[in-house]
Amino acid sequence: MDSIWIKGGNALNGTIPISGAKNAALTLLPCALLTDEPLTLTNLPRLADVDTFGHLLNQLGVSTRVEGVKPGQFGRSMTLQATEIASTVAPYDMVRRMRASILVLGPMLARAGESTVSLPGGCAIGDRPIDLHLQALECMGAEIELAAGYVKASAPKGRLSGGDFSFPVVSVGATENALMAAVLTTGRTQLFNAAREPEIVDLCNLLVAMGAKIEGIGSGHLIIDGVGALHGCTYEVMPDRIEAGSYACAIGMTGGSVDLLGARAEDMRATLNALAQAGLMIEFHERGIKVTSTGELRPLALSTAPFPGFATDMQAQFMSMLTLAKGESFLEETIFENRYMHVPELRRMGANIETRGRSALVHGVDKLTGASVMATDLRASMSLVLAGLAAEGETEVLRVYHLDRGYERLEEKLSAVGATIERRSAG
């Protein structure tokens, strides 16, 4: 099994190209199920999760063709076409690998009138039920049955009808599934308290490019008028705001100055505000965002929240950075109840962190020390890499398959700006 080896202490300077967003890509890919015409996605990141989703779509009858990628090039272009849906069953063996697989439920139901999807897997960061996905679909006329670990959904008349649904809590995945189902209904659907994340906006923009009728894009009130059919198109995946924020935290911990090429400030205001409050210098230019260390990290008080609040996917990286801040930082995780699994590993490196329930108190220390640490989920993995970049001595991060799910060629990008980092194979 591969590991990431890091010798810490190097300042980072140069440029890092920001890849297409993982969370957007996994939402855009199932849109291929909504049309029999080709859908081409560009700037698609080369990640394990994207490949896994592609294999799932293949099983459902979607053909996929990837254009050749030149050496050293990031991102790729993939053309998907579901001329016919060969199967309406997403099996456990595929879905258990990745929670985002549940996103085939809505579009498959909308296009084929039925859909059977295994209950999902994914990172072990707490209970993430899909009841809101199902309730939103039921409001459009779907009949839902849960049996033997599968969700079986059907449209009694072969096609969903419009309906109104108010999410009791903001849910990104449920909003995405509901959107993809609503675009092919026979009437109007209104979604209230819908998620507003940039990835939701990206999904709406793609659906509109395919012929969907959606009002209120970017707001919590989405109005979708169903159409008879969608068509294919070519669409560029948005840049990854979480990847950009992760590398910005690396600058805070190691020092230096890095241009994050392609990063979009409007997608990550809360992250950038927190970085500035922590003492980093943030500059905007036409090609992206420049992040520069000022030499001292200030403590923060942060609470995760749905967009436009501080993203839960940035919590672990900020915690790692704040281990070196001058003073005490307070973190509150409001989205998932089990997202502090990186804390024991950071403690192995000398961090001083107390946790109680969903709260964490980070006492800044003068230095971190390299150690062998174990990754537990995607963002926790990145927090350990960040700690290794700043630590004295050598760090080995095990279970890097988590990293491969969300960070495209991480060691290559970090090496290019001065980090001493490499991937090592156990065999």
What tens digit of pLDDT does each residue of 231-256 get?
999 999 999 999 999 999 999 999 99
In which band, very low, low, confident or very high, does the pLDDT at 75 lie, cut at 50, 70 and 90? confident
171 and 311 inside one domain? no
Catalytic residue ranges:
123
67: confidence class by pLDDT, cuts 50, 70, 90: confident
| pLDDT higher than threshold 80 for residue 426 | no
What is residue 388's three-state secondary structure?
A: helix
In which band, very low, low, confident or very high, does the pLDDT at 123 lie, cut at 50, 70 and 90? Answer: very low
Contacts of 235 (CB under 8 A, 6+ apart): 28, 39, 40, 41, 42, 205, 206, 209
CATH of the domain at 295: 3.65.10.10
The overall average pLDDT reported for the chain is 93
Say if residue 130 carries a ligand binding annotation. yes
In a shared domain, residues 245 and 221: no
Q: Is 22 annotated as a binding residue?
A: yes
> Same domain for 191 and 74?
yes
Domain carrying residue 195? 23-236
Q: What is the mean pLDDT of the segment spanning 317-336?
A: 95
Please classify residue 331 by burial: count the beta carbons closer than 10 Å to its beta carbon, then call 0-12 exposed, 13-18 middle and 19+ buried: buried
Cis before residue 308, ω within 30 degrees of 0? yes
User: For the purposes of burial, counting CB atoms within 10 Å of the CB of 188, is it exposed (0-12), middle (13-18) or buried (19 or more)?
Assistant: middle
Q: Which three-class secondary structure state does DSSP give residue 107?
A: helix
- Burial of 249: CB neighbours in 10 Å, binned 0-12, 13-18, 19+: buried
Say how far apart CA 178 and CA 182 lie, in whole Å.
Answer: 6
Q: Position 364: which residue type?
A: G
Residue 313 is labelled as binding a ligand: yes
Last residue of one domain, picked from the residues 181, 204, 236: 236
**Mean pLDDT value of segment 316-331:** 97
Residue 232 and residue 264 in one domain: no
Q: Structure pTM?
A: 0.95
Q: What percentage of the chain has pLDDT greater than the value 90? A: 83
Report how many domains make up the chain: 2
Are 121 and 174 found together in one domain? yes
Q: Which of 236, 256, 282 is the last residue of a domain?
A: 236
Q: What Rg value do the Cα atoms of the chain yield, rounded?
A: 21
Tens digits of residue pLDDT in 266-304? 999 999 999 999 999 999 999 999 999 998 999 999 999
Q: Does 244 share its domain with 231?
A: no
Binned at pLDDT 50, 70 and 90, residue 71 comes out as low
Residues 306 and 225 in one domain: no
Same domain, 299 and 374: yes
Distances from the Cα of 274 to the Cα of 235, 240, 271, 297, angstroms: 31, 18, 5, 11
According to the annotation, is 23 in a ligand binding site? yes
